[in-house]
Amino acid sequence: MLTVTAEDVDSNEVRRACSRLFSLESVESDRFLENLDLEMVKKAYREHAKTCHPDAQCSISGGSGAESFLNIQRSYEVLTSYLERRAKESLHAVARERKIIAVGGAKGGIGKSIFAANLSVVLASKGFKTVAVDLDLGGANLHLYLGNRAILKRSINDFLKKRVNTLQELVVESGHGPLLIGGDSSELGAANIEFSKKLRLLKAVKNIEADYVVLDLGGDTSYNIVDFFNLADYTIVLTTLDTVSYISSYHFMKAAIYRKLNRLFGTESKFRDEREADLERLVREVTMAPDGPKIKSIGDLIERVREDQPMNLSILVRALQDFNPCLVVNRVEKEADIGPVVMKIQDVSKKWLSKEVTYLGSISAQREITESVKALVPTVAKYPRGRLATELEAIFQNLIRSR
Ligand SMILES: Nc1ncnc2c1ncn2[C@@H]1O[C@H](COP(=O)(O)OP(=O)(O)OP(=O)(O)O)[C@@H](O)[C@H]1O
Ligand SMILES: [Mg+2]
């Protein structure tokens, strides 16, 4: 029996194998290989094998029956291996699809923009096409942290005011690796966008061409901010070790998960095509009642759905599984202080949100950061082998392992 592994197959062999199993005219057409699938190969093999079996005395290309049969068999193996490799490659291409990373946390000044800017530089330095997007519409400064001193000629406001049709038209070079889509909060009302504009923006962010899109968010729990957060494939919540900051980080996650449930069947949701009116009503009733939520925890909601509408439980469970906030602790002075804070956040999230929050790592408080902020240069561009670069690398590795 001949054995052909996927790696052995070259394109000439594939063409030869096709010409043995299929008619010459079809093989010559450009679309033939594109449309070739396993069923076609099996069918052609069965037909030829019947007539070319050594007992059937046939001959292809002038060879003996046995030789022809071996050729048919080899062609079959070449083509099945080729299709196997093609399937693997397309899986790999899916894995390389653009990923959106959102950086949130419900407190100002904790380092979200520094983190987003420097993570973007790290990703770009790895060869990923990276676009950093300033979605802190009311406090846009990502361009400064990325080293763009000049006032931006184009900003997200141009998209919101329909002066351009796509976010792609706003992309500028940051000068340190990543591309940038910047904001301009100097325009009055920049942060107060209407719902329809926000939906348009959410859709446009999903269409940005890149390997990684990094979203820098504002520091509160307004609907706009949590909607941008919930849009991402990877969601990072930043906190410092101070009490207000870590309590706010939990509040941010709570707001985001409740909002995700409220918008379970919204046009921007992955679950929009699975709309179940009963579930939609119940979720709204219990999470958005005018006098406050009617449930104490996400666990209570799961129980209500399990009891009242078990047929909808799977949608709820899948939506909750789709929410995976990860935690990064910034401005750490003493490593020993990290553990207790991370545990507190993880414990309350587990108890009230039924969520295991993944801890990705920490960033130390460092002079390199304050100095480079003053000089308007991303820290990791100034110190590519410095402490922040090492810390961000570890965080990135944990992030991609988190899903
Ligand atoms: N690890 C760190 N070490 C030293 N300084 C830091 C560190 N992280 C942040 N900073 C300082 O904190 C300041 C605020 O950071 P940044 O602007 O990134 O916060 P933010 O969370 O984005 O705030 P906002 O919500 O207002 O946008 C920076 O100017 C920087 O000097
Ligand atoms: Mg910021």
Q: What is the 3-state secondary structure (H, E, C) of 100-111?
A: EEEEECCCCCCC
Residues 231 and 336 grouped into a single domain: yes
pLDDT band at 93 (very low <50, low <70, confident <90, very high): low
pLDDT band, very low/low/confident/very high, at 88 (cuts 50, 70, 90): confident
Query: Mean pLDDT in the chain?
Result: 89
Mean pLDDT check: name the lowest of 22-31, 229-238, 251-260, 340-349. 22-31
At 4 the pLDDT is 54
> Quick one: pLDDT at residue 306?
95
Q: What percent of the chain has a predicted confidence (pLDDT) above 90?
A: 67
Same domain, 106 and 130: yes
Q: Which of 92, 118, 150 represents a domain boundary (last residue)? A: 92
Atom 29 in ligand 1: which residue has the minimum CA distance?
Answer: 373
Within-domain flag for 301? no
Same domain for 205 and 82, yes or no, is no
pLDDT at 5: 53
DSSP 7-36: GG--HHHHHHHHHHHS-HHHHHSTHHHHH-
Does residue 130 fall inside a structural domain? yes
Query: Are 86 and 187 members of one domain?
Result: no
**Domain edge (last residue) among 77, 92, 107:** 92
What is the domain extent for residue 69?
6-92
Q: Based on the domain organization, do 86 and 110 belong to the same domain?
A: no
More confident residue, 280 or 54: 280
Same-domain pairing of 161 and 245: yes
Highest mean pLDDT among 44-48, 127-131, 289-293: 127-131
79 is a domain residue? yes
From the CA of 219, give the closest atom in ligand 1: 25
240 residue type, one letter:
T
Instruction: Give the number of C-alpha atoms closer than 13 A to the C-alpha of residue 124, restricted to the C-beta side.
Output: 24
Q: For residue 150, give the DSSP letter.
A: S
Q: What is the pLDDT of residue 204?
A: 94
- Do residues 142 and 134 touch, judged by C-beta distance below 8 A? yes
Q: Determine the pLDDT at residue 39.
A: 87
Nearest Cα to Cα of residue 377 among 152, 61, 66, 117: 117
Q: Quick check: is 154 in a domain?
A: yes
Inform me whether the pLDDT recorded for 380 exceeds 70.
yes
Residue 35 has pLDDT above 80, yes or no: yes
Domain stops at, among 68, 92, 116: 92
Q: With 50 as the cut, is the pLDDT of residue 153 above it?
A: yes
Q: Do residue 84 and residue 61 come from a single domain?
A: yes
What dihedral angle (degrees, nearest 10) is formed by the CA atoms of 32, 37, 38, 43? -50
Residue 307 resides in a domain: no
Q: Is the CB of 111 under 6 A from ligand 1?
A: yes
Task: Give yes or no for a contact between 117 and 142, defined as CB atoms under 8 angstroms apart.
Answer: yes
pLDDT over 90 (residue 336): yes
136 lines ligand 1 (CB under 6 A): yes
- Do residues 22 and 138 share a domain? no
Regarding the beta carbon of 113 and ligand 1, being less than 6 Å apart is answered yes
Is 119 within the bounds of a domain? Answer: yes
Cβ burial, residue 57 (10 Å; 0-12/13-18/19+): exposed
**pLDDT at residue 170 tops 50:** yes
Output the pLDDT for position 1: 43
The pLDDT of residue 57: 57
In this structure, the answer to whether residues 62 and 80 fall within a common structural domain is yes
Ligand 1: atom nearest CA of 116 is 18
Atom of ligand 1 nearest to the CA of 363: 1
Q: Same domain, yes or no, for 84 and 215? A: no
C-alpha 79 – ligand 1 centre gap (Å):
56
For residue 280, tell me if it sits in a domain. Answer: no
Task: Flag whether pLDDT at 59 surpasses 60.
Answer: no
Does position 298 have pLDDT exceeding 60, yes or no? yes
pLDDT on residue 390: 97
Lowest mean pLDDT among 10-14, 232-236, 340-344: 10-14
Q: Please work out whether the CB of residue 110 comes within 6 Å of at least one atom of ligand 1.
A: yes
In a domain, residue 123? The reply is: yes
For residues 383 and 396, give the distance between their C-alpha atoms in angstroms, rounded to a whole number: 18
Q: Give the pLDDT band of residue 29 (cuts 50, 70, 90).
A: confident
Q: Are residues 110 and 177 in the same domain?
A: yes
Residues 202 and 260 in one domain: yes
Looking at residue 96, its pLDDT comes to: 63
Question: How far does the centroid of ligand 2 lie from the alpha carbon of residue 101, in Å?
Answer: 15
- Residue 139: give its domain's CATH number: 3.40.50.300
Those residues with Cβ within 8 angstroms of residue 334's Cβ, 6 or more apart along the chain or in another chain: none
Question: Does the beta carbon of 249 sit less than 6 angstroms from any atom of ligand 1?
Answer: no
Q: In this structure, which amino acid lies at residue 330?
A: N
Q: Can you give the pLDDT at residue 217?
A: 96
Q: What is the mean pLDDT of residues 304-311?
A: 94
Number of domains in the chain: 2
Q: Which ligand is nearest to the CA of 134?
A: 2
* Mean pLDDT along residues 258-282: 92
Q: Which of 118, 152, 150 is nearest to 132 (CA)?
A: 118
Report the sign of the C-alpha dihedral through residues 217, 383, 359, 123, in that order.
Answer: positive
Average pLDDT over residues 109-118: 97
The pick from 330, 368, 369 for probing ligand 1's pocket by mutation, whose C-beta has the most ligand atoms within 8 angstroms, reads 369
- What's the CA-to-centroid distance between 275 and ligand 1, angstroms? 41
**pLDDT at residue 349, as a whole number:** 97
Measured in angstroms, how far is the CA atom of residue 55 from the centroid of ligand 1?
A: 80
